[in-house]
Amino acid sequence: MKTTAFDQRLEGRYDELKWLYCELYQNDLEAFQGFVEMLRRSWGQRKRPLRAQDARREADPDWYRHRELLGMMLYVDAFAGDLAGVRGKLDYIRECGVNYLHLMPLLQSPKGRSDGGYAVSDFRAVQPELGTMEDLERLADACRRLQISLCLDFVMNHTSEEHEWAKKARAGEPGYRERYFFYDSWDVPREFEQTVPQVFPTTAPGSFTQLEDGQIVMTSFYPYQWDLNYANPAVFHDMTENLLYLANRGIDVIRLDAVPYIWKQLGTSCRNLPQVHSLVRMLRMACEIVCPGVLLLGEVVMEPAKVAPYFGTTEKPECHMLYNVTTMATTWHTLATGDVSLLKRQLEAVCALPKDFLFLNYLRCHDDIGWGLDYPWLREQFGTDEVAHKRYLNDWFTGRFPGSDSRGELYNDDPRLGDARLCGTTASLCGVEAAELEGDPFKLERAAACDLTLHAWMLSQSGIPVIYSGDEVGRFNDYAYHDDPDKREDSRYLHRGRFQWELAERRNDPDTLQGKLFQGLRRLERIRAGEPCFDGDADVWVEDSGDARVLALCRRKGERELFCLFNFSGEFVRAGVGRGGAYTELMYGTHYDSIRCVDLWPNGFAWLLRE
């Protein structure tokens, strides 16, 4: 028999795959054979253009590391009604310079009990309002022709209570209860609750749900999201096959949703257990064997020490990309405090990581901002108290703090714990919404500058910048969810509103707020795409700007050196420019013959290229 690409790729990974599998599943060799057959079957179903793309990407393994990469995430319905609508709007996506598009969950999910699509009832069917699987494939084909990579969530920790497996489990059909965590009494659940922190303490307290018939099932997130039991090989097989099914529809990037949670063990926090890494490593190998052009993006919203291990090692890689979540949260902290010390420290930590760790950088996404900051350090440096500081940040970003024009809303505000998180769009959090409502042109200018500076900051970091749809035209909060009984309790809908095309219409008019933001952002992106200093393998370090309000980031590639300054305060400041010398500011094209410092506008920034 002729050896295929599949055989070759399998051969190189067979021993490790088998070893990991057998370790996790008690040497069940028969099950392992079944797993390998499933991989072969999935490969057999991979269509020709995708296989051709796999080959191209295998020959250029750094294809997703270019500095031209620019992401955007959006909700299909909010953006364009349905999948066909998105296909019709690809021109706009291209105009935004976007070549990596993350579509928020779009698979079948029960109305009103869907957690924004994160409770999937069928991994092989599209939500009917959004279209069909064929529509998704058509969109993926169109994106591929335009060289836009498509990312889709793979909600793997749980299924909806309406998923076929859940229904069968509820009905007592043999083999299905074992796919979840079922209990007849509260004894074990109570023991779990001793050590497992809550995800949604106010909107969905506890980690278990009692069904009408008295049975108890594990539900770490919402009560209608039943946790899958990956200790059962049938779950791992079927979910891997579902993942590969999506990859075979033409999805380029699979976002492993809530991945740290997928292995549960009594007496632990049920987060980041070693078995999670074995599972992710096996998924990585499964993709490398079946669809090597497909990437894994891990959703690990954890402190930095927990995030980096999801990259795995050079010999045994796990995820291709991870979110730079702590930098995001620290950025907002920095804006509220006007003091860059913590951000500087955070960056030093990021800069110390291997350069091939690829992060997705973002300011806002569909979720809340959790205040996961380095509190021990803040306490040591400033005597900061964690609860008081979270209250300060929340007061600041909800506009309750004097002088703040921010317009956010709290998320999961548990008065007992005092650790509410925060929602809102970038523009509203930067004060643009309040300034526009007040009709104050000076405030508006400053708030818009702040919005643009934060984007410049995001683009200055190594990795893939991802815009949250609407931010490119300064979208405000959408308060309509307050009147929707299905959404009212979940303030994340504040920043998941309808895309306002009427605002986007103004994007080419520089006299409008939308035009200023859109054109400003485009200019930044073009500079980034054209400037080698933004390469992922550039040397990056933080410097002392001489002013606690200003962050100084340096990027060097070969002979080229870029000095980036960001004023996180609402005041005019003068900041030092490293070694001094002749510079050109790239955004405005200003040339400086010989400078040691530069003046920055309130919430302004400068990208200075050394000559």
For the CB of residue 480, give the shortest distance to ligand GLC in the complex, in Å. Answer: 19
Task: Give residues 204-263 in contact with ligand GLC (rule: CB under 6 A).
Answer: 221, 257-258
For the CB of residue 224, give the shortest distance to ligand GLC in the complex, in Å. Answer: 11
Q: Closer CB to ligand GLC, residue 235 or residue 336?
A: 235
Binding residue (CB under 6 A) for ligand GLC from 115, 288, 409, 561: 115
Q: Closer CB to ligand GLC, residue 132 or residue 202?
A: 202
**Which residue of the set 299, 368, 472, 478 is catalytic?**
299
Site map 178..197 versus ligand GLC, x via CB under 6 A: --------------------
Stretch that binds ligand GLC, among 62-70, 111-119, 283-291, 602-610 (CB under 6 A): 111-119
Check: CB of residue 580 under 8 Å from CB of residue 594: yes
Binding residue (CB under 6 A) for ligand GLC from 100, 118, 181, 566: 118
Check: CB of residue 69 under 8 Å from CB of residue 164: no
Q: Is 438 a catalytic site residue? A: no
Q: Closer CB to ligand GLC, residue 206 or residue 581?
A: 206
Chain centroid to Cα 147, Å, comes to 21
Amino acid at 186: W
Nearest to 371 by CA among 326, 413, 401: 326
Check: CB of residue 608 under 8 Å from CB of residue 596: no
Task: Give residues 370-409 in contact with ligand GLC (rule: CB under 6 A).
Answer: none
Three-state secondary-structure class, residue 609: strand
Q: How many residues contact ligand GLC, by CB under 6 A? A: 10
Stretch that binds ligand GLC, among 114-122, 182-190, 352-360, 413-421 (CB under 6 A): 114-122
Q: Is 257 a catalytic site residue? A: yes
Q: Closer CB to ligand GLC, residue 89 or residue 366?
A: 366
| 466 is a contact residue toward ligand GLC (CB under 6 A) | no
For the CB of residue 116, give the shortest distance to ligand GLC in the complex, in Å. Answer: 6
Element (H, E) at 188: helix 187-195
Q: Closer CB to ligand GLC, residue 65 or residue 366?
A: 366
For the CB of residue 475, give the shortest distance to ligand GLC in the complex, in Å. Answer: 19
Q: Closer CB to ligand GLC, residue 411 or residue 605?
A: 411
Stretch that binds ligand GLC, among 54-62, 112-120, 245-253, 433-441 (CB under 6 A): 112-120
Q: Closer CB to ligand GLC, residue 95 or residue 419?
A: 419
Task: Give residues 258-297 in contact with ligand GLC (rule: CB under 6 A).
Answer: 258
- Residues with Cβ within 8 Å of 542's Cβ and at least 6 positions away in sequence, in order, are 344, 347, 348, 351, 551, 552, 553, 554
Element (H, E) at 557: strand 550-557
Nearest to 501 by CA among 514, 491, 487, 519: 514
Task: Give residues 290-329 in contact with ligand GLC (rule: CB under 6 A).
Answer: 299
Q: Closer CB to ligand GLC, residue 492 or residue 549?
A: 492
For the CB of residue 518, give the shortest distance to ligand GLC in the complex, in Å. Answer: 27
CA within 13 Å, CB half, 81: 6
Q: At what angle do helices 274-290 and 29-44 cross, to 10 degrees?
A: 40
Check: CB of residue 466 under 8 Å from CB of residue 100: yes
Binding residue (CB under 6 A) for ligand GLC from 122, 141, 238, 367: 367
Stretch that binds ligand GLC, among 73-81, 113-121, 203-211, 527-535 (CB under 6 A): 113-121
- Residues with Cβ within 8 Å of 221's Cβ and at least 6 positions away in sequence, in order, are 115, 118, 157, 158, 199, 200, 204, 258
Tell me phi and psi for residue 514, to 5 degrees.
Answer: -60, -40
For the CB of residue 235, give the shortest distance to ligand GLC in the complex, in Å. Answer: 16
Q: Closer CB to ligand GLC, residue 34 or residue 116?
A: 116
For the CB of residue 367, give the shortest distance to ligand GLC in the complex, in Å. Answer: 5
Can you tell me the distance from the alpha carbon of 148 to that of 87, in angstroms, rounded to the nearest whole number?
12
Q: What is the DSSP string of 73-104?
A: EE-HHHHHSSHHHHHHTHHHHHHTT--EEEE-
Counting other chains too, the contacts that 230-236 makes at CB distance below 8 Å and 24 or more residues apart are 230/262, 230/263, 230/275, 230/279, 231/24, 231/263, 232/178, 232/179, 233/25, 233/28, 233/31, 233/35, 234/175, 234/178, 234/179, 235/179, 236/25, 236/35, 236/279, 236/282
Site map 144..173 versus ligand GLC, x via CB under 6 A: -----------x------------------
Q: Closer CB to ligand GLC, residue 251 or residue 459?
A: 251
For the CB of residue 246, give the shortest distance to ligand GLC in the complex, in Å. Answer: 16
For the CB of residue 406, give the shortest distance to ligand GLC in the complex, in Å. Answer: 22
Amino acid at 608: L
Q: H helices of 256-324, where?
A: 274-290, 304-307
CA within 13 Å, CB half, 547: 21
**Which residue of the set 135, 153, 227, 257 is catalytic?**
257
Q: Closer CB to ligand GLC, residue 258 or residue 565?
A: 258
Can you tell me the distance from the alpha carbon of 576 to that of 590, in angstroms, rounded to the nearest whole number?
17
For the CB of residue 257, give the shortest distance to ligand GLC in the complex, in Å. Answer: 5
* Cβ neighbours around 111 below 10 Å, total: 8
Residue nearest to ligand GLC (CB): 118
For the CB of residue 491, give the shortest distance to ligand GLC in the complex, in Å. Answer: 12
Stretch that binds ligand GLC, among 60-68, 89-97, 115-123, 471-479 (CB under 6 A): 115-123
- Residues with Cβ within 8 Å of 436's Cβ and at least 6 positions away in sequence, in order, are 444, 476, 513
Q: Distance from first CA to last CA of the chain, Å, rounded?
A: 62
Residue at token pair 């999506």: 246
Sign of CA dihedral 420, 424, 428, 433: negative
DSSP 198: P
Q: Which residues are known to be catalytic? A: 257, 299
Residues that bind ligand GLC (CB under 6 A): 115-116, 118, 155, 221, 257-258, 299, 366-367
